[in-house]
Amino acid sequence: MKTVFKIAWRNIWRNKLRSAVVVCSIFLGIWAGIFVSAFSFGLNEQRKESMIRNQISHIQIHNSTWLDQKEVAYTFSATAVDDYLNKDPRLKAYATRSKASGMVSSAHYSGAAQIIGVNPNAEAALSNLEEKLTEGEYFPEKGRNPVLIGRALAKKLEAKIGSRIILNFSDGQGNIISSAFKVKGLYKDVSSKMEELNLYVRQSDLQTLLGLESVQVHEIAALLKEDADIEILQQELQANFPALAIQSWKQISPELAYADEIMTQMLYIIIGIIMLALSFGIINTMLMAVLERRKELGMLMCVGMSRTKVFSMIMVETFYLALLGGPLGILFAYYSVWQGSKSGLDLAAFSDGLATYGIDSVIYPALPTSFYWGTTLLVFIMTLLAAIYPARRALKLNPVETLRTI
């Protein structure tokens, strides 16, 4: 077999240009495939993290009726849950929220609004609401009824820092409440729709207006340190508080969970398509090599080289080509992804479009290590399959026909 390997190695360098083109195409194909996959994976991860951090958290707790009928009356007492969560070391942060649906209006505009009452300190630890402020202050201690509104809404309301806006909503008894709030901050969200809809007020202010006690809340949102603990904690909470609806982020946002689940499969499909295209290039090249060397291969069989060895030689030649380009492509892709994950890819030109989908304009490519191993295995399988056809063609050569004469 040593001779087979030696001849195969020299054979692939007979036509240096052709072999170099094939090796380069394998290298570039695999590199591009992995990098595109890393870009997609990173983008999806960022979207998921952004959604979890900005909107849904890892776990949400509600009055079970509130899930179907989001009415002010469906609150629950936070005391017991608060005690439970406060002692749990697996939690990174959690916060209670009160919510009301209503209208926001100014002299220039009136529209639907989701009024969210937050505990400023707990909310700052849980979500990045404070970091999203582009103007103003994050719930200053002085002053009555502060409100944080999105930039898009501020534009429609023609409101600035210090402007008064009116919030209308109904309380638990169905009475219409109308109250003036003072704009203390403008925030930028990943989505302009979110900026238009969500207004943040102090939870205590909202509870007072709704006629709720301070322990009566609509929602507790929690963020965990480790993803692996999410379902465990969810089950524990459900067991301890069976009357409440305990949901993980996957239940709160099934489309996000589905996108997360199919992402890995999508990546393998991407890389699989690229490899399929590459394998045809390899088959073509090796087929040309076999047909060009028909006479020589026939001679080898004439003088006593077994068909198995001829078959092996063509297989080895194919492997050499793939093994030169494949690992090089994987290593270079690994380096590119590593670099990209540090500096990020700034897609500022598309920031508006990306923001609509809740994605930041700087994308950080990322890939699980298992994907690199999976790709290596795919390269191996692809090469094996691509090598078989040319090798079989060599196997079927008739020595006499190839030589015409002995």
Partner 1 sequence: MAIIETKNLSRLYQDGDHIIHAVDKVNLEIEAGEFTAIVGPSGSGKTTLLNLIGGLDSPTEGEVIVDGKAIHKLKDNALINFRLQHIGFVFQAYNLIPVLSAQENVEFIMLLQNASARERKTRAQELLKAVGLEAQMHKRPAELSGGQQQRVAVARALASKPSFVLADEPTANLDSKSTEDLLDIMHKLNQEEGITFIFSTHDQRVIDRASRIIYVEDGQIKENH
Is residue 300 at the binding interface for partner 1, with CB under 8 A as the rule? yes
- Report the residue from 17, 243, 349, 406 that binds partner 1 according to the rule CB under 8 A: 406
Closest approach of partner 1 to the CB of residue 318, in Å: 16
Q: Is 164 in the site for partner 1 (CB under 8 A)?
A: no
Interactions with partner 1, residue window 306-325 (CB under 8 A): 306-307, 309
* Segment interacting with partner 1, rule: CB under 8 A, options 57-65, 110-118, 167-175, 292-300: 292-300
Q: Per CB under 8 A, which region of 68-76, 276-284, 302-310, 347-355 contacts partner 1?
A: 302-310
> Counting contacts by CB under 8 A, is residue 10 touching partner 1?
yes
299 lines the binding site for partner 1 (CB under 8 A) = yes
Number of Cβ within 10 Å of residue 307's Cβ equals: 15
239 binds partner 1 (CB under 8 A): no
State yes or no: residue 284 binds partner 1 (CB under 8 A).
no
Which ranges constitute the DSSP H helices of 136-224?
Answer: 151-157, 192-197, 203-210
Select the span of 156-164, 293-301, 330-338, 349-357 touching partner 1 (CB under 8 A).
293-301
Contact between 62 and 245 (Cβ < 8 Å) = yes
Count of CB atoms situated within 10 Å of the CB of 266: 15
Span near partner 1 by CB under 8 A; candidates 151-159, 180-188, 208-216, 301-309: 301-309
Strand spans (E) along 333-385 = 345-346, 362-363
**Number of other CB atoms surrounding residue 26 within 10 Å:** 28
Question: Cα dist. 122→53, 96, 239, 282, 293 in Å?
Answer: 13, 8, 25, 59, 75
Contacts of 236 (CB under 8 A, 6+ apart): none
Choices 162-170, 177-185, 210-218, 395-403 (CB under 8 A): range interacting with partner 1: 395-403
14 binds partner 1 (CB under 8 A): yes
Q: Which of 80, 176, 302, 377 binds partner 1 (CB under 8 A)?
A: 302
Do 331 and 376 contact (CB within 8 A), yes or no? no
**Residue 201 or 301 with smaller CB distance to partner 1:** 301
Euclidean distance between CA atoms 386 and 392, whole angstroms = 11
Task: Give just the sign of the alpha carbon dihedral 370, 372, 377, 382.
Answer: positive
When asked if residue 17 is in the footprint of partner 1 (CB under 8 A), the reply is no
Shortest Cβ distance from residue 315 to partner 1 (Å)?
17
If you write DSSP's letter for every residue of 8-65 in order, what string do you get?
Answer: HHHHHTTTHHHHHHHHHHHHHHHHHHHHHHHHHHHHHHHHHHHHIIIII-SEEEEETT
Residue selected from 128, 250, 295, 385 as contacting partner 1 according to rule CB under 8 A:
295
Q: Which listed residue (5, 7, 193, 347) binds partner 1 by CB under 8 A?
A: 7
Cβ distance to partner 1 smaller for residue 148 or 297: 297
CB 49 within 8 A of CB 316: no
The tokens for 89 are 């070391």
* Shortest Cβ 367–partner 1 spacing (Å): 40
**303 binds partner 1 per the rule CB under 8 A:** yes
Q: What is the largest CA-CA distance in the chain?
A: 105
Residue 282 and residue 318 in contact, taking contact as beta carbons nearer than 8 Å: yes
Q: How many CB atoms lie within 10 A of CB 144?
A: 10
| Per CB under 8 A, 403 contacts partner 1 | yes
Binding partner 1 (rule: CB under 8 A), the pick from 107, 112, 232, 400 is 400
Our CB check for partner 1 shows the closer of 10 and 164 to be 10
Binding-site size, partner 1 (CB under 8 A): 23
**199: number of CA atoms within 13 Å, CB side?**
29
Q: Where do contacts with partner 1 occur on this chain (CB under 8 A)?
A: 3, 7, 10-11, 13-14, 295-296, 299-307, 309, 399-400, 403, 405-406
